Structure 1
């Protein structure tokens, strides 16, 4: 055999080995992690300055991947470097699921397809409840109270509180986003929503400014959680405001009680505070909670009704009455359990 033929045979031999290794590598990297005994996804935190080997270590540890001759970290790294595209990895927090494979991992981290987190800021909750929720949200940086104070200060001296000024919604964010960013987004979303609703208000709208609309909507939000009742509840308050009748709303009174223990007493109702609508005329000075868009729309477009009273029934809704006599009967039946 000539030297040229020998070289050809050697080259062919190594070519076959190389092709086989590449085929195995492609097969190996394309196998889902479901082949392991772990079915829970991995929340992979990939900090700045870390290497691809860090990703391999974390994924291998979580999914209990073996360390045999044909299945070890060095082989994973070698195949990944050759076939997986491990350059230009982006720091962040990622979710590696059991059905993913190594190609999925490198694509995810290379493209920066980070895990999206979410926080739901519930309608009818107060600012203080929202701040607690934000401080408890995962991977959200910053102190909620400090962020709220900073936002309020940036709005100028005419804004005494953020109560009612933030739109209830589920907000999505990436890891290490700031509380300030969420609050700013919620404020801007409420401003847009409020402007849209205010521009479409009916002639029956009983208030004179968008801020008063927020106040009234927050009361409606606290009075009923039933979508079909909001406009009817709004009509009761509109009717009362039209004749100068006090709103007499328990939720406003409760909002003005410091360290309320859940028991609203007659003494509370007699105490004159800025929020006790049994003792003051008109609206309280600020919203008492974060109103939803639905409550804003109800406040802006109340039903045309003859009602001036309502009381909770035993189904989660309310009974509406035109006269005090009818209302007292409903109270005796549903609140005092007397026919």
Structure 2
């Protein structure tokens, strides 16, 4: 083979190598472009996924989902439980979010959570042991209100009609269902023959948050009964030890709520009632007369005291058949821990100050001094 032929072969080989290099470069370029596009798309998809995972699962959901967090649960297991219940979208995202915010001290317990809660609300709930959400509105039910008065508050704040509320809380079938749901506070005593309204005094005075614009009457009533149950739990041991019932406690406390004009008076008025019942004397408290009459009066007349009604404590001894209003914590505690006195009488002057007496003669002197 001559030199020209060898040169030609080498030249052709060199051209083939350059061609292969160009092809490889093209392939590398195309692959790089593809990988870049895939990377950008993947990054965008990942960003979108994470962003969505940080939002509530369903901002409009009102369903309350029961979630049990066992003692000793770690962040990983809690996150997995929340994802399984559908409260969050991704357990890992929740876990990382909590870690990035240095949140890890969560409490075991039973929670009523919703898909509308944000991650911050969930974390706050799990930290405090309470469900934390921003309410749509609140409803304040003051102490000393009757069921009829509460119905007016409910209509004004929630939109539930007054009559619909009263129909609900007096429906026999509904009362039976509520008794099954709240056996610790609702007993057969609320169905006694002389009790005017089964749930009178059982709807706890408090400020209630609501997380929907128009809660149902069932939601309103059960929310209030939940509060009653929670606030009475500390007194169950006392009731059992003294062989008393929730009905007795709320009935007694309702009298104090309607009679007392100052917090410090409740314990002393309770002592008067205890002393009177011990001697089998009628309690003779005017609010029971007004409740029996079914109307409000600035002044109870002598003829009113004679009304023949089971609630009238002027003609009947002992407590009335049931509560005459809703009692707050101060009145309930006064029943449980009354003052120790020798008082059997008291009256309120025009400014609302109570004056106590040991004997009837002292009481008459107080009447002459402060009322007549």
Partner Cα distance (1:88, 1:247) in 2: 57
Greater Rg, structure 1 or structure 2?
2
Report the counterpart of residue 168 of structure 2 in structure 1: 147
Task: Assess if the C-alpha contact under 8 Å between 1:224 and 1:317 holds in 2.
Answer: no
Partner Cα distance (2:359, 2:297) in 1: 32
1:321/1:125 Cα in 2 relative to 1: closer, same or farther (>3 Å)? same
Does 1:187 pair with 2:207? no
SS at match of 1:162: coil
Task: Assess if the C-alpha contact under 8 Å between 2:261 and 2:354 holds in 1.
Answer: no
Does 1:130 pair with 2:150? yes
Report the counterpart of residue 321 of structure 2 in structure 1: 285
Does 1:199 pair with 2:237? yes
Q: In the alignment, which of 167, 185, 206 is matched to residue 169 of structure 1?
A: 206
Partner Cα distance (2:135, 2:145) in 1: 27
Partner Cα distance (2:206, 2:150) in 1: 11
Task: Assess if the C-alpha contact under 8 Å between 1:141 and 1:178 holds in 2.
Answer: no
SS at match of 1:172: strand
SS at match of 2:327: coil
Deviations 1:89-131 (A, max 9, x none): 8459xxxxxxxxxxxxxxxx99698652000111100011001
Matches within 5 A, 1:81-160: 90-91=59-60, 116-138=136-158, 143-150=164-171, 151-156=174-179, 158=188, 159-160=190-191
Partner Cα distance (1:330, 1:202) in 2: 39
Partner Cα distance (1:217, 1:153) in 2: 24
1:192/1:155 Cα in 2 relative to 1: closer, same or farther (>3 Å)? same
Task: Assess if the C-alpha contact under 8 Å between 1:141 and 1:177 holds in 2.
Answer: no
Task: Assess if the C-alpha contact under 8 Å between 1:148 and 1:180 holds in 2.
Answer: no
* Deviation at residue 135 of structure 1 after TM alignment: 1.0
* Deviation at residue 271 of structure 1 after TM alignment: 2.1
Normalised to the residue count of structure 2, the TM-score between the two structures is 0.56
1:335/1:148 Cα in 2 relative to 1: closer, same or farther (>3 Å)? same
Partner Cα distance (1:132, 1:227) in 2: 26
Q: In the alignment, which of 309, 319, 331 is matched to residue 367 of structure 2?
A: 331
Deviations 1:246-287 (A, max 9, x none): 100000111001345544221111222111111111111010
* Deviation at residue 332 of structure 1 after TM alignment: 1.0
Higher mean C-alpha displacement, 256-265 vs 214-223 = 256-265
Partner Cα distance (1:130, 1:149) in 2: 14
Deviations 1:286-330 (A, max 9, x none): 100001111111011111111011111344220111011111110
SS at match of 1:192: helix
Task: Assess if the C-alpha contact under 8 Å between 1:165 and 1:191 holds in 2.
Answer: no
SS at match of 1:155: helix
* Deviation at residue 229 of structure 1 after TM alignment: 1.1
SS at match of 2:224: helix
Q: In the alignment, which of 277, 283, 308 is matched to residue 272 of structure 1?
A: 308
Normalised to the residue count of structure 1, the TM-score between the two structures is 0.62
Task: Assess if the C-alpha contact under 8 Å between 2:165 and 2:217 holds in 1.
Answer: yes
Runs of at least 5 residues in structure 2 that lack an aligned partner in the other structure: 1-50, 62-115, 122-132, 180-186, 192-197
Task: Assess if the C-alpha contact under 8 Å between 2:356 and 2:363 holds in 1.
Answer: yes
* Deviation at residue 136 of structure 1 after TM alignment: 1.1
* Deviation at residue 231 of structure 1 after TM alignment: 0.5
* Deviation at residue 235 of structure 1 after TM alignment: 0.4
How many residues are aligned here? 237
Task: Assess if the C-alpha contact under 8 Å between 1:274 and 1:280 holds in 2.
Answer: yes
Matches within 5 A, 1:49-60: none
Runs of at least 5 residues in structure 1 that lack an aligned partner in the other structure: 1-83, 93-108
1:140/1:90 Cα in 2 relative to 1: closer, same or farther (>3 Å)? farther
SS at match of 2:323: coil
